[in-house]
Amino acid sequence: MAMLGNIVLRFDQLASTNDLAREMAASGTEEGVVVTAREQTAGRGRMGRNWSSPAGEGLYLSLILRPQIKPEAAPVITLAAAVAVAETLKLDLQVEADIKWPNDVLASGRKICGILVETATEKDQLLYAVMGIGINLAQREFPEELREIATSVLIECRRLVEGEQVLAMLIRRLDHWYTTSLTEPDRVIARWSELSSYANGCVVSIETAEGIIEGVTRGLATSGALIIETSAGQRREITSGEVRLRRQSVVSSP
């Protein structure tokens, strides 16, 4: 497997690093190539949401991956990305990071990083994955609609860090956890659970395609799905949805 980040393509401005990386991946670009931009004019997150990407205030990157796994195993790659980001923030930058399933990285309860993994499949084969990551680094304030829900490294620890410095730290951790996701996915799930206060015992509501599901978090399944115990005692595995915290208190399993 190629070492991630051996080739880094740097741009002043792109509409979206994921869009360019996806075009390159579809054209056969090798695994491990990183696309970064100082600014994104049409950055996006999960569910088609916009991702604010002002020039020079964040780290915006996308990685081309070619994992030899089945499409149903791909969610663990997203968990691996969240683990790598959370460790970079906590261990390298001293930001108290948390993870909200499946891939929002928070600090002080507000979003500091978004992750979007997009895949291409053919029949039962995963052709490639593009891992997009946006980390807020130098924002001193946010647009009004984001002020209560977003934060940055600068706000959290009063420290200005260079994007290139954070990129080097992050790539090392991404390389480790991506490799681990392919060989020992259970280790990724265990580490994700250690880093996330949402993993077990939180009362949540989840907006899914089937409607709102409410219950208590009971960890992750081996697939990376979030396990929810409903008030009726039923355990359900949630594979996609928007998690909203209702009460962050430990609710013991009977």
Q: How many domains in the chain? A: 2
What pLDDT does 248 receive?
A: 58
Are residues 66 and 86 located together in one domain of the fold?
A: yes
Are residues 119 and 223 located together in one domain of the fold?
A: no
Rounded Cα gap, residues 112 and 103, in angstroms: 11
Tokens of 246: 């209702």
What pLDDT does 47 receive?
A: 45
What pLDDT does 123 receive?
A: 84
Are residues 28 and 84 located together in one domain of the fold?
A: yes
> Which residue ranges of the chain lie beneath pLDDT 70?
1-2, 43-52, 247-254
Are residues 28 and 127 located together in one domain of the fold?
A: yes
The string of pLDDT tens digits covering residues 4-47 is: 999 999 999 999 999 999 999 999 999 999 999 999 887 655 44
Q: Are 118 and 128 in contact (CB under 8 A)?
A: no
CATH of the domain at 101: 3.30.930.10
Q: Is 160 inside a domain boundary?
A: yes
Q: Is 94 inside a domain boundary?
A: yes
Rounded Cα gap, residues 254 and 252, in angstroms: 6
Q: Is 110 inside a domain boundary?
A: yes
What pLDDT does 175 receive?
A: 97
Q: What's the whole-model pTM score?
A: 0.91
Rounded Cα gap, residues 177 and 197, in angstroms: 20
Domain termination residue (choose one: 169, 195, 221): 195
Q: Are 18 and 133 in contact (CB under 8 A)?
A: no
Are residues 181 and 207 located together in one domain of the fold?
A: no
Q: Is 1 inside a domain boundary?
A: no
The string of pLDDT tens digits covering residues 52-79 is: 577 778 999 999 999 999 999 999 999 9
Q: Is 2 inside a domain boundary?
A: no
Are residues 23 and 63 located together in one domain of the fold?
A: yes
Q: Is 24 inside a domain boundary?
A: yes
DSSP per residue, the chain: -PPTTSSEEEEEEES-HHHHHHHHHHTTPPTT-EEEEEEESS-B-GGG-B----TTSEEEEEEEE---S-GGGTHHHHHHHHHHHHHIIIIIS---EEEETTTEEEETTEEEEEEEEEEEEETTEEEEEEEEEEEE-S-S---GGGTTTB--HHHHHS----HHHHHHHHHHHHHHHHHHHHH-HHHHHHHHHHH-TTSEEEEEEEEETTEEEEEEEEEE-TTSPEEEE-TTS-EEEE-S-EEEEEE-S-----
Are residues 227 and 177 located together in one domain of the fold?
A: no
What pLDDT does 249 receive?
A: 56
Are residues 52 and 139 located together in one domain of the fold?
A: yes
Strand order in the sheet with 8-14: 8-14, 34-40, 58-65, 125-136, 110-122, 104-107, 97-100
Q: Is 186 inside a domain boundary?
A: yes
Are residues 136 and 169 located together in one domain of the fold?
A: yes
Are residues 34 and 148 located together in one domain of the fold?
A: yes
Are residues 72 and 146 located together in one domain of the fold?
A: yes
CATH of the domain at 232: 2.30.30.100
What pLDDT does 28 receive?
A: 96
Q: Is 3 inside a domain boundary?
A: no
What pLDDT does 2 receive?
A: 46
Nearest CA-CA partner of 217 in 238, 206, 202, 195: 202
Are residues 101 and 225 located together in one domain of the fold?
A: no
What pLDDT does 211 receive?
A: 87
Instruction: Note down the domain range covering 227.
Output: 200-247
